[in-house]
Structure 1
């Protein structure tokens, strides 16, 4: 019996990670982002600023439908061909905030996405969640093991995130960074290592750091280097 091929994990990205990256078809279509993250199957969040539709005809030309998504860093086309595939974009309207899960492709030097899921998002806080998860993808390169978005987690991608709750751990992280961070910021791996020695779970510390960035309490001076916003 043929072995089932494992589905690629989806990595959260900004659109500029894709459009400013280096595309290649070697070992399958993918983009390497400016931060060195390999992007094959991605999650992006942005506003639908345009929608195009063309019916198929008797000459064999397939139905074609596309949307353009803008996340503030750049825009990208999301394209489908054929009746069955076009159903993914059914009901998608201009001006909505949307989550897109899709595969990276290129044609005539244009990088675009073939969508698997396109969902409207009604909570603008989802952009903050997306930003935090994107940090995780980038920070994999810093030597810290961070989870990708697995297929089993896809349903969670379309749920509304709960409000960020600050507490003792958040205050301890801020106090530590204020005390220890040089002007160029302190590496996330050092923050995690410090609090692991105090008995904290590494994943909990990472998530809290991302929450503090989204809240504006921390600044990312450079990739993976953090300082408090009041410094």
Structure 2
């Protein structure tokens, strides 16, 4: 019997959010991690200290997101299916140590959550500033990026985009289904999402009863 070689887990590296957003991004295939170049370092798993400024959860409990701000930039973390539970205790206004993988979809740089731990001692913000070099990348001045779109309109647009991800998967299953259903692997591939994220969405849809498996590896929408 051939022994399977254990995959080495990447070390989580402390970084500024602005460097995750603006650093050169390399997408990876399959289960290999995508990476961002920050100050000569290759970052696959990032550790950030930031304040949660917004939180959203879908009504069916299959999707949630939080937006974090560390004073240099903001970034969203998206959770699908089982990962939604990682945001259970997350609350706007809380300072958190967040560890996760860097992802990119539809031109948005975001993070997949692994650990979200609330930090009660604000002195850790000072410690982080001493530990890290100044940000390698700088965002444009606020005057250059200020939007005229009302805040509530922007928030609704984000929610519609997030819920649209589930609708996209459902649409693919409908259009790709043959007599015995749509092939799960092909649905994940056609979604153009990270394979793990697409799989978690499908798991959530299965749990919610939106889709079912007529046989292993095949999917059908429960209309």
TM-score (norm 1): 0.53
Pairwise CA distance, 1:130: 2.3
CA distance in 2, matches of 1:106, 1:4: 26
Q: Which residue of 1 aligns with 2:64?
A: 65
Pairwise CA distance, 1:17: 1.0
TM-score (norm 2): 0.55
Contact 2:33/2:101, CA 8 A, preserved across alignment:
no
Pairwise CA distance, 1:90: 0.6
Q: Which residue of 1 aligns with 2:24?
A: 22
SS at match of 1:95: coil
Pairwise CA distance, 1:36: 2.6
Matches within 5 A, 1:102-113: 102-113=100-111
Structure 1 gap ranges (5+): 57-61, 139-231
Q: Which residue of 1 aligns with 2:56?
A: 52
Q: How many residues get paired?
A: 131
Deviation string for 1:17-40 (max 9, x for gaps)? 10111111156411112x232211
Give the counterpart of 2:45 among 41, 48, 55. Answer: 41
SS at match of 1:6: coil
Structure 2 gap ranges (5+): 137-223
Contact 2:55/2:92, CA 8 A, preserved across alignment:
yes
CA distance in 2, matches of 1:24, 1:129: 30
Contact 1:11/1:134, CA 8 A, preserved across alignment:
no
Give the counterpart of 1:88 among 86, 89, 99. Answer: 86
CA distance in 2, matches of 1:38, 1:52: 30
CA distance in 2, matches of 1:118, 1:37: 23
Pairwise CA distance, 1:134: 2.9
CA distance in 1, matches of 2:102, 2:12: 11
CA distance in 2, matches of 1:15, 1:74: 6
CA distance in 1, matches of 2:84, 2:50: 20
SS at match of 1:122: coil
